[in-house]
Amino acid sequence: MTIWRAFRTARGIMIAILGVSHVTFAQASCKTGASAETKEHRMKTLRIIAALAILTLALVPAGCGPTPKKDETKTAATGAGATSQLETILKRGTIKVGFDTFKPWAMKDKDGNYVGFEIDVARKIAEDMGVQVEFVPTKWSGIIPALLTGKFDVIIGGMTVTPQRNLKVNFSIPYEFSGMSIVADNTIAGGRTRLSDFDNPDTTIAVRLGTTAAEATKNFLPNAKKLFFDDESQTIQELLNGRVHALVASNPLPMTLAKEYADKLYLPLKDDFTREPISFAVRKGDLDYLNWLDNWVRVYMSKGWLQNRYHYWFFTHDWESQVQ
């Protein structure tokens, strides 16, 4: 019911009450023998009825319309009125970061501590929040389910944005871009210089399960035989042992492997054959948290900090002494 309809309804009620009251009073007054005291009593009654009618007119619009559901009164900032994960992190004093290890995104140094591009990013985020960071290493194939069940607050692990992943989680704006490349065995794949040279049933490709590299391999090399592994180290070992012709992965891994094992491996392509956005992944329905992460990326992109860290880990060898 709209306010206008409520007003008209209340007005009708008031008129009806007053009309009936006036008629009753008039009839009573015309009766022979009505005393002055009786007339005064009836006048008081009429005034009370009028006051009630006016009160009805005032109250009906205020109460019109359906009562808002409890959820509708909650703030839209977090999607359902729940406490933002950002607030939870600040109260806890620790941000829990989900990731998987692969060079040079995240790996262990000689002392068993985690280092890498993503580790630097996670530590910087924690510093700016004024909290500690807790790293939660997780198998890549199960990392999104682990996020959704609350095992950590964010995935900072070189995760590429895909429509399928975005159905389950929300992504920040990209803080880096990654490209797919291929590194091949000199002996059994030597001489191939085009991606199409690897797209045949006689070629075997090693790729990590659950990654965009796996998806790219399916799309760009549909005819090749593909071996999927949970760990990146397994794909590398298959290539070094000569059991596969090539490995598909995000750079700089192919580039790093080709340099490290120059006598055995080579890069068939000069450039990456894809370009993909890398973003933080968080649970859905938390706009405050996502807004903070988006603006964090904007700030450190504008300052050049992200570019500096990326260049250090992906295009220099200064860090290699930490892990070898």
Q: Structure tokens of 179?
A: 């490209």
DSSP secondary-structure letter at 73?
A: G
Q: Structure tokens of 324?
A: 């070898």
Give the model's pLDDT for residue 58.
Answer: 53
Domains 85-177+277-323 and 180-274 share a fold: yes
For residues 144, 149, 155, 158, the Cα torsion angle rounded to the nearest 10 degrees is -20
Backbone angles phi, psi at 207, to 5 degrees: -155, 150
Nearest to 116 by CA among 259, 253, 15: 253
* Per-domain residue ranges of the chain: 3-62, 85-177+277-323, 180-274
Question: In Å, what is the CA distance from 187 to each residue of 87, 218, 246?
Answer: 56, 24, 11
Q: Structure tokens of 322?
A: 């930490």
pLDDT per residue over 247-299, tens digit each? 999 888 898 899 889 999 999 999 999 999 999 999 999 999 999 999 999 99
pLDDT per residue over 189-220, tens digit each? 988 999 999 999 999 999 998 888 999 999 99
Cα–Cα dist 79/84, whole Å: 9
Taking 70 as the pLDDT cut, the residues of the chain under it are: 1-81, 324
How do beta strands 225-229 and 154-155 pair?
unpaired
Give the model's pLDDT for residue 42.
Answer: 56
| 8 A C-beta contact, residue 223 and residue 200 | yes
Residue 50 DSSP SS3: helix
Give the model's pLDDT for residue 61.
Answer: 47
Cα–Cα dist 165/143, whole Å: 11
Superfamily classification of domain 180-274? Periplasmic binding protein-like II (3.40.190.10)
What CATH architecture is 85-177+277-323?
A: 3-Layer(aba) Sandwich (3.40)
pTM greater than 0.75: no
